[in-house]
Structure 1
Amino acid sequence: MLKRLLSYLYPIKIHTQKSTYSKTIEITWTDGDLVMDSENTNYSYGSLQRILKLGLKNIGFEKIKKTQNILLLGVAGGSVIKTLIKDIGFSGKITGVEIDSEMAKLANQYFKLDKIPQLEIIIDDAFEFVLKTHEKYDLIIVDIFQDTTMPNFLFENYFIDRICFLLNNKGNILFNTMLLNQADNIRNQKLVSEFNKDNFIIKTVPRVEKHNELIIIEKMN
């Protein structure tokens, strides 16, 4: 409790460990809340939670609340899961896919994800998972980073085609991307401009954070 109170004055780091995928994982009390960070960016809670909440709001809280099956690719500390359940009131099934087993352990330890009955965490590579799953989803959230790097497969046509295939009618994909240089901006522009699928629409959400851009894909029917 003392550390939490002191965190309103300055951040208090309570755990640090090395990560195969993210260099370093840090758990810190900041302004009375626990946040999860990598060496160079916020992973859960903090600014990331605000970004994804904006994307969910853009899709529509009431629409999401009525859905049944959500897929989250990239779990980290699970802040978007808390947003879905506490802020939106989503009561359906959430499947979270996380490649880093150590991060999943920390998420359970500090953010109590293992206490959420409607959540299933699967330790797997996101690309491999979407190739294997036979489920269809009402909402797919793509939030995959390795520190400040995004794996190249996320922007390959085959991956985009596959996650579009996994959407139910009227479903949405919320894709969180990081833009650190002009090449990243061109990459996103290329994805949006070249996206041409019957029965789908794509758009970007005006940025609230300088280095993050949200892309939303919707399946019409």
Structure 2
Amino acid sequence: MLKKFLSYFIPVNIVKKHSEISQNLEVTWNNGQLVLDSKNTNYSYGSLQRILRKGLNYIGFERIRGFKSILVLGVAGGSVIKTLTDEIKYKGKITGVEIDPKVIEIANTYFGLDQIINLEIIICDAFEFVLKTKEKYDLIIIDIFKDTVMPNFLFEDYFINRINYLLKVNGFILFNTMTLTRQDKERNALYKLHFNDDYSVRMYPKVEDHNELYTIKKMR
């Protein structure tokens, strides 16, 4: 507990690991909370948990509790899953897809992700998973980064159309994006054009400085 106490004054590193996929990963006590960071950004807990909690709050905690199935693309340390189970008290099925087994190893060891009984973790590329799965979901959370970089496929027609197909009517997509450059903002502006009148798209800018959140409801 000494490290936790000291973290209110200065971050205290617990472990550093190298991953072939995520490169540098660090678990650190920061302001009394364990967080998972990559080289340049927060991967789980900390600011990322605040960002996704806001998105879930926009959708509505009570509404989420009524969902039967949730898909999380990009698990990292599992902070959004902890918000779902610990804060929202979600009891339905959660499927988490994560490409990096090292991240899941950290999530299990330091954040207790493997203790969540209604969670299934699948080690797989998110693009491959959405192509193969036959299930449909009430909520799809997309939170995929390699450090501060978002893969291009997230903004391409085929992936977007496939995600829309996997979403149940009256279901929601929660999409966390990072906007560090003018090109990022232009990319996000074009993203909204992929949705027709069957969808209600809302964008929430300036969430934790450099993040824009999207909530997308499938109306019919």
Smaller-chain TM-score range?
over 0.9
Contact 2:22 2:146 (C-alpha < 8 Å) held by counterparts? yes
2:10 maps to what in 1? 10
SS at match of 1:154: helix
What is the TM-score when the length of structure 2 is the normalising length?
0.97
1:36 paired to 2:22: no
2:196 maps to what in 1? 197
Deviation of 1:160 after TM superposition, in Å, equals 0.6
2:156 maps to what in 1? 156
Query: Any runs of at least 4 consecutive aligned residues in structure 1 with deviations exceeding 2 A, and if so which?
Result: 195-198
Number of residue-to-residue matches in the alignment: 220
**Distance between the aligned counterparts of 1:209 and 1:108, measured in 2?**
27
**Distance between the aligned counterparts of 2:216 and 2:157, measured in 1?**
14
Deviation of 1:140 after TM superposition, in Å, equals 0.2
SS at match of 1:117: coil
Shift in alpha-carbon separation, 1:182–1:206, aligned structure 2, 3 A? closer
2:79 maps to what in 1? 79
What is the TM-score when the length of structure 1 is the normalising length?
0.97
**Distance between the aligned counterparts of 1:175 and 1:31, measured in 2?**
27
Q: Unaligned regions of 5+ residues in structure 1, if any?
A: none
Deviation of 1:206 after TM superposition, in Å, equals 3.4
Q: Which amino acid aligns with 1:187?
A: R
1:124 maps to what in 2? 124
With 35-44 and 208-217 compared, the bigger mean Cα shift is at 208-217
SS at match of 1:206: strand
**Distance between the aligned counterparts of 1:91 and 1:81, measured in 2?**
11
**Distance between the aligned counterparts of 1:4 and 1:18, measured in 2?**
24
Deviation of 1:196 after TM superposition, in Å, equals 3.3
Contact 2:207 2:213 (C-alpha < 8 Å) held by counterparts? no
**Distance between the aligned counterparts of 2:168 and 2:135, measured in 1?**
10
**Distance between the aligned counterparts of 2:181 and 2:188, measured in 1?**
11
Q: Which amino acid aligns with 2:179?
A: L
2:182 maps to what in 1? 182
With 51-60 and 204-213 compared, the bigger mean Cα shift is at 204-213
**Distance between the aligned counterparts of 1:79 and 1:137, measured in 2?**
20
**Distance between the aligned counterparts of 2:201 and 2:9, measured in 1?**
42
SS at match of 1:187: helix
**Distance between the aligned counterparts of 1:76 and 1:153, measured in 2?**
19
What percent of counterpart residues are identical? 60
Contact 2:137 2:166 (C-alpha < 8 Å) held by counterparts? yes
2:206 maps to what in 1? 207
2:114 maps to what in 1? 114
Contact 1:195 1:202 (C-alpha < 8 Å) held by counterparts? no
Contact 2:139 2:173 (C-alpha < 8 Å) held by counterparts? yes
Deviation of 1:18 after TM superposition, in Å, equals 1.3
Contact 2:199 2:216 (C-alpha < 8 Å) held by counterparts? yes
Deviation of 1:198 after TM superposition, in Å, equals 4.3
SS at match of 2:207: coil
